Amino acid sequence: MNAAETVLAVERLDVEIPLATGVLHPVRDVSFSVKRGETLCLVGESGCGKSLTALSIMDLLPSRAQRRADRLEFAGANLLGARERRMADIRGNQLAMVFQEPMTSLNPAYTIGNQMTEVLLRHRRVSAGEARERAIYLLEKVGITAAESRLRQYPHQLSGGLRQRIMIAMGLMCGPELIICDEPTTALDVTIQAQILSLLAGLQREFHMGMILITHDLGIVARVAQRVAVMYAGQIVETGCVDEVFAAPLHPYTQGLLQCIPIPGKTPRGEHLGSIPGMVPSLMGTLRGCGFRERCPYAFADCAQDVPLVELGPGRGYRCRLTPEQTGANAAGAQVWT
Amino acid sequence: MLAYAVKRLLLALLVAIAVSVLSFMLLRISGDVATAIAGESATSADIEQVREMYGLNRPLIVQYGDWALGALRGDFGESFYFKTPVTSVIRTHIAVTVILGACGLGFALVLSIPLGVLAALRPNTWLDRLALTISVLGQALPTFWFALMMIIFFGVMLRWLPITGSSTWKHFVMPSVALGYYATPAIMRLTRTGMLDVMSSDYIRTARAKGLRTGAVLFKHALRNAIIPVVSLSAVQLGFMLGGSVVIETIFALHGLGFLAWESITRSDVAVVQAIVLILACFYIVLTLLADLLNAYLDPRIRVA
Amino acid sequence: MLADKAALEEQVLEPSPGQLLLRRTFGHHGVTIGATVLLAIILMAVLAPVLAPHDPYHQDLTRRMIGPFWHAKHSAAHLLGTDNLGRDFLSRLIYGSRISLAIGFSAMLMSGIIGSLLGITAGYFGGRVDMAITFFITMRLSLPVILVALAVVALVGGSLTVVILVLGSLLWDRFAVVLRSATQQARNMDYVAAAQAAGCSTPRILFSEILPNVLNQLIVVATLEMAHAILLEAALSFLGLGVQPPLPSWGLMVAEGKTFMFFDPWLITMPGLALFMLVLAINLLGDGVRDVTAPENRN
């Protein structure tokens, strides 16, 4: 098996949600891919469509929402048009997801052991005893001591950090090929955050999984990811290796983020932080052109037309009408974001 | 948990005692019992004799104490009408009421829980509206009228079911439906609301993300949580059914406690009426106590604090 | 300038909360249907002497058991037939509405006052007062209501007044429970603390701060208990221990018609239907009021 094999390929994913007041387009023309053993971070501010992208891959969107894509392939299988039965066989099995609210994501009526073993029992022909052993093994892997007694405990008896580790362990029960983590540390203390992140990175290496980490925190991106996709207003505006993107961001939004948000270990000391003026545009109705143009200091007339994705190489691209030379000059030049 | 149970038990006991006092006093003071027992054609001398015989001329407190002490031993005195111990009269009638109550609740649950779940899964569709309509109509139906209508339709016109008596299970079908339908709207609405709440919760999303089948998500995860308040409500409704079965029992000639109570009321057999009121109140108290304990058991957050 | 004018117009044209409430009320199907039917029945009761073609008490044994107009054996003088004593059925049905409405309303009023006082007191003062009242409520809840009502009526003697008094003194439990919790919630609101800080007397607070805010839940319970009282009276009269003959209580009419129900079912279907429609209208109204005044609808 090729170690760098692509485990997920998404091309031109769209999500539409009809509401009473109109049609919402929270995800537009999203394309990216993830390889085994690689962590892709999907980064962007709240409401940019990251979580919905993840849910649409899992086919867990609300019933009113409609999903459309040119390509949605997972482990070589086409997920588009896959029936619920098929998806249910894949979810929790080869494709796992960890959510961001550890406090409410576990069923209060059942023990941890029950909830963990049920995933394995659902997807594999194992005995209850074997499932328990796997659960204990994984709990220990995520750094939980006294794992066996934890199995008998109920969610409300455990702290948020513990619950999040359990959620991660639960996601690993069937040895998934891809795990999606939606803001796994947002609801946790800063000290716990660091632990969970290290844990995730280690597990991913050890189990050689693909991982999509959704976050709004660029610091996390710097720490954990190999590749990054920046989302804004439902679209991916820039993708590439983390080092490349951080060193030479091509899209004005990415540039703004990097200048305006301090990143531990990357932002030089004493540098003045700016801010990006304006607000995220509405995602209702038919949208044309670049979503960022209202706030972009370099916007010009053509930005009102739909902007195609410019590919500079495999996995490196950005969505802007400016040429790389122009944006490179902008980034290196005087502080535009004040 | 234990402390909680003990506290509830003591409270329940106090309520039972208070009810016994209340029913005792109420029946003695709302009319002259001696006159009622002696009958319409009695002379004042007859009435005095009755008073003597049953000790009705003693102070009320003394009468109550006497009765209460007896009740603790299981002796509720003697029936004025049957001239046999009240306990034996009640014993022959209690089974029918309990069976009727259980069947009534059973019918209500079998009808309302699935309806409530379905309505929650398809909110604002025709199914949901149908369930809500049934619920609204059900609450407006007078029980006795519903029972009579069923008798005319199923008993006489279609001849499917027997009209009176209690010898076979078929005798309990119409009475159970007539008794149970009134609880259906409340239970259905509670199930529906509960399921709607639960289905939009995060742990259901987790369950689906684990690839669990729809059945497991619905029953193992969702209903298990949504049903907790329904258990309490069901216990209370059963209490109401046991206490309010007099109309059904009279119409269908089922010789249960309600029927006995009504007959005793018309015969001024106060001793029996008193005992029945106390027993039915105790049913209700025990049921609500059980409901509380069951609640605590079903929700680990309460049980394993 | 134009922008200012537009903003001003927007302010003026935005409806007030009162207007929004009215709009929601009239748009709600349950409320409109329930209110219309109820009003129609009330009107029928009030105009009974005018509407009823005959005296509801007048017996004519020569014209017994005439069927309603769709029956083979019918009569033009008696649109809905006559009962076993030759009394005009339609007239009795019309006059029967008076009894149901009178009892429903009076019993609701009486139990409403008792229950509200108990509930608001318990909810506002808390502590021992609350404990005592809650104990009292639990006691009342454990009583088999219909049996107690039957027993009391049997001992005292059945009549309209007795039934109203008995029901009024028994049906206050839901008032007490709902108002207790509503008062507890209202009590925690800032406006109560403000009134207390301003030195308002307790009765004043209860009346001007608490009561208006629990009023909508009070109305909902009032409609439900009115329906409850009507059904209970019908059941009591059906069993012979409620309103006494010859009063045209609908429950009593069903009891009287029961003996003949296999051959002349209209004697029981029609009074029952009347009860059903009245109670349905009241319930729809109550549910509608609850929907319309629900806190989610307040902006």
pLDDT in tens, A221-260: 888 899 999 999 889 999 999 998 888 888 888 888 887 7
Closest CA to A176 of A227, A138, A144, A221: A138
pLDDT per residue over A194-210, tens digit each? 888 888 888 888 888 99
Instruction: Give the whole-angstrom CA distance, residue A333 versus residue A315.
Output: 26
Mean pLDDT across chain B: 86
Tokens found for residue B247 = 């109309």
Q: Looking at residue B45, what is its pLDDT?
A: 80
Quote the pLDDT of residue C299.
39
Q: Do chains C and B touch (3 or more CB pairs under 8 A)?
A: yes
Q: Which of A125-134, A280-289, C2-11 has the lowest mean pLDDT?
A: C2-11
Please indicate whether, in this complex, the C-beta atoms of C254 and B268 are within 8 angstroms of each other: no
pLDDT band at residue A59, thresholds of 50, 70 and 90? very high
CA distance A317 to C195: 64
What's the gap in Å between the CA of C108 and the closest CA on chain B? 17
Contacts of B293 (CB under 8 A, 6+ apart): B5, B8
Q: Do B26 and C144 touch (CB under 8 A)?
A: no
- Closest Cβ–Cβ partner in B203, B212, B304 for A154: B304
Q: Does A175 touch chain B (CB under 8 A)?
A: no
Which of B196, B200, B203 to substitute to test the interface with A, most A CBs within 10 Å? Answer: B203
In chain B, the residue whose alpha carbon lies closest to the alpha carbon of C135 is B15
Specify the pLDDT at position A331.
Answer: 62
The whole-number pLDDT of residue B185 equals 92
Rounded to whole angstroms, the Cα distance separating C145 from C155 reads: 16
* Both tokens assigned to A88: 């249910």
The total number of residues shown for chain C amounts to: 299
Q: Subunits that touch chain A (at least 3 Cβ pairs < 8 angstroms)?
A: B
Give the model confidence (pLDDT) of B87-138 as tens digits. 888 999 999 999 999 999 999 999 999 999 999 988 888 888 888 888 889 8
Residue B273 phi, psi (nearest 5) = -60, -45
| pLDDT, mean over chain A | 86
Please name the residue that has the structure tokens 């009319």: B31
pLDDT tens, B35-75?
766 766 777 787 787 777 777 777 778 888 888 888 888 78
Instruction: Give the pLDDT score at A1.
Output: 45
Of B41 and C81, the one with more pLDDT: C81
Closest C-alpha among A176, A4, A159, A166 to residue A99: A166
Beta bridge partners of A213: A41, A181
Question: Between A198 and A187, whose confidence is greater?
Answer: A198
| A6-19 and A66-68 strand pairing | antiparallel
Distance CA A222, CA A220 (A): 5
pLDDT at C295: 60
* Higher-pLDDT residue of C25, A182: A182
* Residues C267-288, mean pLDDT to the nearest whole number: 92
- For residue C92, give every residue at least 6 positions away whose Cβ sits within 8 Å of its Cβ, in sequence order, or none: C56, C83, C248, C253
* SS3 of chain C: CHHHHHHHHHHHHCCCHHHHHHHHHHHCHHHHHHHHHHHHHHHHHHCHHHHCCCCCCCCCHHHCCCECCCCCCEECCECCCECCCCCEHHHHHHHHHHHHHHHHHHHHHHHHHHHHHHHHHHHHHCHHHHHHHHHHHHHHHHCCHHHHHHHHHHHHCCCHHHHHHHHHHHCCHHHHHHHHHHHHHHHCCHHHHHHHHCCCCHHHHHHHHHHHHHHHHHHHHHHHHHHHHHHHHHHHHHCCCCCCCCCCCHHHHHHHHHCCCCCCCHHHHHHHHHHHHHHHHHHHHHHHHHHHHCHHHCC
Helix, strand or coil, per DSSP, at residue A276: coil
Pairing status of strand A178-182 against strand A95-98: parallel
* B212 chain-A contacts, CB cut-off 8 A: 88, 92, 118-119, 122
pLDDT of C296: 56
- Return the higher-pLDDT residue of A89 and C80: A89
SS3 A284: strand
Judging contacts by C-beta atoms under 8 Å, the chain A residues touching residue B206 are 99, 105-107, 167
Min distance C65 CA to chain B CA atoms (Å): 19
Lowest mean pLDDT among A170-174, B296-300, C16-20: C16-20
Cα C24 from Cα C39, distance rounded (Å): 19
The percent of residues in chain B predicted with pLDDT above 90, rounded, is: 40
Band of pLDDT at residue C2, cut at 50, 70 and 90:
low
Give the length of chain A: 338
- What pLDDT is stored for residue A332 in this prediction? 61
* C-alpha span between B50 and B41 (Å, rounded): 13
Stretch C84-98: mean pLDDT, rounded? 88
Average pLDDT, integer, range B5-33: 81
- The mean pLDDT of C225-237, rounded to a whole number, is 94
Per-residue pLDDT band at C280 (split at 50, 70, 90): very high
Name chain B contacts of A92, Cβ cutoff 8 Å: 209-212
Instruction: Find the closest chain C residue to B18 by CA distance.
Output: C139
Residue C298 has pLDDT above 70, yes or no: no
Residue B30 confidence (pLDDT): 61
Chains that touch B (3 or more CB pairs under 8 A): A, C
- Kindly tell me if the per-residue pLDDT of C21 is higher than 70: yes
Strand A6-19 to A71-74 pairing: antiparallel
Residue of B209, B298, B304 with shortest CB distance to A91: B209
Direct distance between the N- and C-terminal alpha carbons of chain B, in angstroms, rounded to an integer:
8
CB-side neighbour CA atoms (13 Å) of C176: 25
* Rounded mean pLDDT, B2-16: 84
- Chain B to chain C, count of Cβ pairs less than 8 Å apart? 136
Residue A83's SS3 state is coil
Residue A102 forms contact with B (CB below 8 Å): no
Gap from B234 CA to chain A (nearest CA, Å): 20
pLDDT bucket at B257, cuts 50 / 70 / 90: very high
Chain B CA closest to residue A117 = B210
**pLDDT(C28) > 80:** no
Q: What is the pLDDT of residue C13?
A: 64
Tokens 């999303």 locate to: B205
Mean pLDDT over each residue of chain C, to the nearest integer: 85
ipTM over 0.90: no
| Complete DSSP assignment for B231-280 | HHHHHHHHHHHHHT-HHHHHHTT--SHHHHHHHHHHTT-HHHHHHHHHHH
The domains of chain A are located at 6-94+180-285+294-333, 102-173
Stretch 231-290 of chain C: residues touching chain B, C-beta under 8 Å? 231, 234-235, 238-241, 251, 254, 258, 261-262, 265, 268-269, 271-272, 275-277, 279-280, 283-284, 287
Give the percent of chain C with pLDDT over 90.
38
Interface test with C, best of B157, B265, B268 (most C CBs within 10 A): B265
B216 contacts A118? CB cut-off 8 A = yes
CB contact under 8 A, A92 and B221: no
Nearest-CB residue to B27 (from C138, C151, C284): C151
pLDDT over threshold 90, residue A305: no
What percent of chain A is modeled with pLDDT above 70?
94
The amino acid that residue B223 corresponds to is: L
Nearest to B209 among A58, A109, A118 (CB): A58
For residue A188, pLDDT beyond 50: yes
How many interface pairs between A and B have CB atoms less than 8 angstroms apart? 75
Q: What is the mean pLDDT of residues B228-252?
A: 92
Q: Smallest Cα–Cα separation from B259: which of B195, B164, B177, B173?
A: B164
Mutate: best of B121, B204, B206, B299, partner A, most A CBs <10 A: B206
| A145-154, A192-201, C19-28: which is most confident | A145-154
**Does C touch A (3+ CB pairs < 8 Å)?**
no
Res C77: pLDDT: 76
Q: How confident is the model at residue A212 (pLDDT cuts 50, 70, 90)?
A: very high
Chains B and A touch (3+ CB pairs under 8 A): yes
- Residues of B at the A interface (Cβ-Cβ below 8 Å)? 201-203, 205-214, 216, 221, 224-225, 298-301, 304
Look at B225 and A170 and tell me if their CB atoms are within 8 Å: no
Closest CA–CA distance from residue C191 to any residue of chain B (Å): 31
**Cα angle B79-B84-B87, degrees, rounded to a multiple of 5:** 75
Decide: A236 and A250 in contact? Cβ < 8 Å.
no
Tell me the per-residue pLDDT of B184-223, one tens digit each, with 9 for 90 and over: 999 999 999 999 999 989 999 999 999 999 988 989 999 9
Nearest to A72 by CA among A130, A11, A18: A11
Q: A75: number of CA atoms within 13 Å, CB side?
A: 13
The answer to whether the Cβ–Cβ distance between A122 and B212 falls below 8 Å is: yes
Smallest Cβ distance to C265: which of B11, B31, B152? Answer: B152
User: Is CATH 3.40.50.300 what the domain over A6-94+180-285+294-333 is classified as, yes or no?
Assistant: yes
